[in-house]
Amino acid sequence: MSKAKSKAKAKDQQEDRPKDADRLEGVRHPRETAQLIGQEAALAAFDRAFAAGRVHHAWLLTGPRGVGKATAAYAIARKVLADQAADPTQVATQLRAGSHPCMLELRRAWNDKTNKFRGEILVDDVRRLTRFFGLSAADGGWRVVLVDPAEDMNVQAMNALLKALEEPPAKTLFLLTCHAPGRLAPTVLSRCRRLKLGALGVSDAATAIMAAAGAAAAEAEGLARLAEGAPGEALRLRAIGGLDAWRDLCALHEGLPKFDRRLLDKLMTDAAGRAGAERFETLARLWPMLIERIAATGARRRSGGDQDGAAPEVARLAERLAPDLAAARHWAGASSETRKRLELALALNLDPERTILDTALMLEETASAALRA
């Protein structure tokens, strides 16, 4: 193959590859989202610091997965970079395209050998900072570095970033999104100011889902409840048919203490074979979640806790299956066991039908024990 053809093939492959590891088809990426819904308090905290000229050089945006941390980071970047620009509209356009010369995004990179995204942010990714600092903001303006999410960095990458956090160049703003701060080195945490983002209310989350993906109102509300106020998680669940799978699971559990064998057989058939692999992965994600919510809802109810956040289908199941604290404890134990069984089946490529049947039998025993408690 000639050099010209090789270059053309490499260019085609580069154009065909996904730009971001976390991008969902048909959904606006956080850099393309102009409005951050439900996190006004977090942005206001940064705005106050920026307006007062007391901007810490590194901010750690924390909170549950999918509540808008990356979207908040881009909103902050737009504000900071637009503040020094002659044309703020051009700043927004460049950020949406990922081409602003004064912003560097560090994420898991594409691996040409495996033809997929790497599992970690590597030290070579972080070393891009040296070139970025050398080429950007020659006029002394702001530069923004986004690490998304920060817990994807391996140890070597984290150590390399730490050096930059310890001696940051002037007017450089580091924005680190993080779902699990406990996975970051204490030395990194100590150099960041935290900006906490919480789960959204159902109404705000549904509005964000409709804006990002054009979902209908009823679907958006169901997804918002399923994802417990995290629009990003709701959109990921939507992409894998999570709402339909959730409804099937809830309908199945209506039959406990003995499952409806017709519904159970359908669940097993849908998850069988290569064609059912995605369905089984969805099931492995949602089934432990349902059991956990039954336990938590039952426990909160019997201890006088607030039930407003419980989805109607979960509240109905908890009312019957977890009528007291003793019963709720049985379901709490079952949620851990369900998660362990399904994760092991995925990791070892075990037979989905047998795994579902074994898990169902375990849950039938749990239901009988809980109702006798």
pLDDT tens per residue across span 92-140: 999 999 999 999 999 999 998 999 999 999 999 999 999 999 876 556 7
Q: Supply the pLDDT for residue 259.
A: 97
Phi first, then psi: what are they for 25, rounded to 5°?
Answer: -65, 135
363 pLDDT more than 80: yes
Pick from 7-21, 168-182, 259-273: least confident: 7-21
Pairing of strands 58-62, 110-111: unpaired
Please classify residue 138 by burial: count the beta carbons closer than 10 Å to its beta carbon, then call 0-12 exposed, 13-18 middle and 19+ buried: exposed
* Residue 300 binned pLDDT confidence (cut-offs 50, 70, 90): confident
Helix axes 352-372, 312-321, angle to 10 degrees: 60
How far apart (Å, rounded) are the C-alpha atoms in residues 38 and 166?
33
Please classify residue 115 by burial: count the beta carbons closer than 10 Å to its beta carbon, then call 0-12 exposed, 13-18 middle and 19+ buried: exposed
DSSP 8-class letter at 212: H
Q: Supply the pLDDT for residue 305.
A: 46
Return the sign of the alpha-carbon dihedral for residues 158, 163, 166, 171: negative
**pLDDT above 90 as % of the chain:** 78
DSSP 8-class letter at 181: G
Q: Supply the pLDDT for residue 19.
A: 72
Q: What is the pTM of this model?
A: 0.85
Return the sign of the alpha-carbon dihedral for residues 210, 216, 219, 221: positive
Helix (H, G, I), strand (E, B) or coil at 110: strand
Quote the strand ranges of the chain, DSSP E. Answer: 58-62, 103-106, 110-111, 116-117, 143-147, 172-178, 193-196
The tokens of 281 are what?
Answer: 């992965």
pLDDT tens per residue across span 49-103: 999 998 999 999 999 999 999 999 999 999 999 988 888 889 999 999 999 999 9
**pLDDT above 70 as % of the chain:** 91
Q: Supply the pLDDT for residue 21.
A: 78
Domain residues of the chain, as ranges?
Answer: 13-196, 203-239, 240-372
How far apart (Å, rounded) are the C-alpha atoms in residues 323 and 71?
41
Q: What is the mean pLDDT of the chain?
A: 90
- The per-residue DSSP string of 246-297 comes to HHHHHHHHTTTTS--HHHHHHHHHHT-TGGGHHHHHHHHHHHHHHHHHHHHH
Contact 181, 60 (CB under 8 A): yes
The tokens of 203 are what?
Answer: 């109404």
Alpha-carbon distance values, 5 to 10, 13, 14, 333 (Å): 9, 12, 14, 59
Q: Supply the pLDDT for residue 136.
A: 65
Alpha-carbon distance values, 63 to 68, 229, 342 (Å): 9, 12, 26
How far apart (Å, rounded) are the C-alpha atoms in residues 331 and 295?
5
What is the rounded average pLDDT of the residues 300-312? 61
11 pLDDT more than 90: no
Which of residues 14 and 106 earns the better pLDDT score? Answer: 106
Contacts of 155 (CB under 8 A, 6+ apart): 185
Pick from 1-15, 35-49, 165-179, 298-312: least confident: 1-15
Q: Supply the pLDDT for residue 10.
A: 45
CATH among 1.10.150.300, 3.30.2040.10, 3.40.50.300, 1.10.3720.10 for 13-196: 3.40.50.300
Contact 225, 339 (CB under 8 A): no
How far apart (Å, rounded) are the C-alpha atoms in residues 119 and 349?
20
pLDDT tens per residue across span 184-231: 999 999 999 999 999 999 999 999 999 988 899 999 999 999 999 999
